Amino acid sequence: MLGKSPSWQDAGGACSGYLVEDGETCLLVDCGSGVLSELRKHRDYVDVDAVVISHMHADHCFDLIPYANALTYAPRQQPVPVERWAGTENPARPHLLLPPGGSDVLRTITAAVGQDELIQNAFRTREYDPAENEQAGSLRLRFQPVPHYTPTNAIEVTSSEGGGRFTYGADHRPTDALCGFADATDLLILEATLPRPERGEERGHITPGEAGEHAARCDAARLVLTHISDELDWEWAKAEAQRAYSGPVEVALPGNVYTV
Ligand SMILES: [Zn+2]
Ligand SMILES: [Zn+2]
């Protein structure tokens, strides 16, 4: 768990970012604002095999920009020796899996500041089809579109080496879409953004109580609440989720490690 803030960062925190490690494979799920700094506490950014993005909101993808700058400008990525870095003809270029349309979104943002191909040159960039599975090293990815303000996908990660299932709901309003997709998953990470449901507007997020209801309907083995501000009481959030869900509930904290 690298970051769990909603669309504005906690004090000293980061937005959505989840590091999945399986043997030699290292996958980053979402790369929101502040995530690169958190990632660097745990893993060298050149050793990440792939980054997968659930949707193109800033709190889920904006640290792709500093990440791409690092891959482009860091001394060790250059072809000639610089200071203590030996120089390389093969700079790291992690895979970047974007939702459909994601490449154009990033290109529009970076082009506005004169860096048209920043992302595409730094990463091996591709858009995934949510109807198809993807493979990143030993990890298999499945996707499930969920209803939000922009096209958004829940993501399931499993290992071809065995072990359990990790399901990340991304951002969504109350939905049945997760029920089959996350049925009996081993670790369900759901957003718990709202202190109360949105009133008089299109819904886009859920409350901790609704996260508990979703976990119960999915019959998940374990629930972790994320995308929740430090301006909400985490004990209250946990108690709300436990009203509907009888399994173990935690509120995500940066640095937490979950084994499936
Ligand atoms: Zn969002
Ligand atoms: Zn979000």
Ligand (nearest to CA of 146): 1
pTM attached to this predicted model? 0.97
Distance 89 CA to ligand 1 centre (A): 38
Could you read off the pLDDT of 20-34 as tens digits, one per residue? 999 999 999 999 999
The neighbourhood of ligand 2, an ion, using CB within 5 A, equals 59, 171
Q: Under DSSP, is residue 199 helix (H, G, I), strand (E, B) or coil?
A: coil
- For ligand 1, the distance from its centroid to the CA atom of residue 58, given in whole angstroms, is 8
Ligand 2 centroid–CA 188 distance in Å is 16
Is pLDDT of 194 > 90?
Answer: yes
Q: What is the Å distance from ligand 2's center to 118 Cα?
A: 23
Q: What is the pLDDT of residues 96-138, one digit of tens each?
A: 999 999 999 999 999 999 999 999 999 999 999 999 999 999 9
**Ligand 2: distance of its center to the CA of 98 in Å?**
15
3-state SS class at 200: coil
Residue 16 alpha carbon to ligand 2 centre in Å: 7
Report pLDDT for 77: 96
User: Listing from the earlier edge strand, what are the strands of the sheet with 187-191?
Assistant: 134-136, 139-146, 152-159, 166-168, 187-191, 223-226, 249-251
Tell me, in angstroms, the distance from the centre of ligand 2 to residue 172's CA.
Answer: 9
Are the CB atoms for 241 and 211 separated by under 8 Å? yes
The span from the first CA to the last CA of the chain, in angstroms, equals 14
Whether residue 200 has pLDDT greater than 90: no
Q: How far is the CA of 190 from the centre of ligand 1 (A)?
A: 12
Find the ligand nearest to 193 CA.
2
Compute, in angstroms, the gap from residue 7 CA to the centroid of ligand 2.
Answer: 5
Judged by DSSP in three states, 122 sits in helix
What is the CA(207)–ligand 1 centre distance, in A? 14
Cα of 238 vs centre of ligand 1, distance in Å, is: 22
CA of 7 from ligand 1 middle (Å) equals: 8
Whole-number average pLDDT of the chain: 97
Give the pLDDT confidence of 166-183 residue by residue, as tens digits: 999 999 999 999 989 999
Instruction: Look at residue 201 and tell me whether its pLDDT is greater than 90.
Output: no
Alpha helices in 94-207, H assignment, sequence order: 102-111, 118-122, 177-181
Longest dimension (CA), the chain: 60
What spacing in Å lies between the alpha carbon of 23 and ligand 1's midpoint?
A: 30
Q: What is the pLDDT of residues 227-256, one digit of tens each?
A: 999 999 999 999 999 999 999 999 999 899
Q: Tell how far the Cα of 77 is from the centroid of ligand 1, in angstroms.
A: 32
* pLDDT interval class at 258 (50, 70, 90): very high
- Which percentage of the chain shows pLDDT scores above 90? 97
User: In degrees, to the nearest 5, what angle opens at C-alpha 256 toward C-alphas 234 and 151?
Assistant: 75
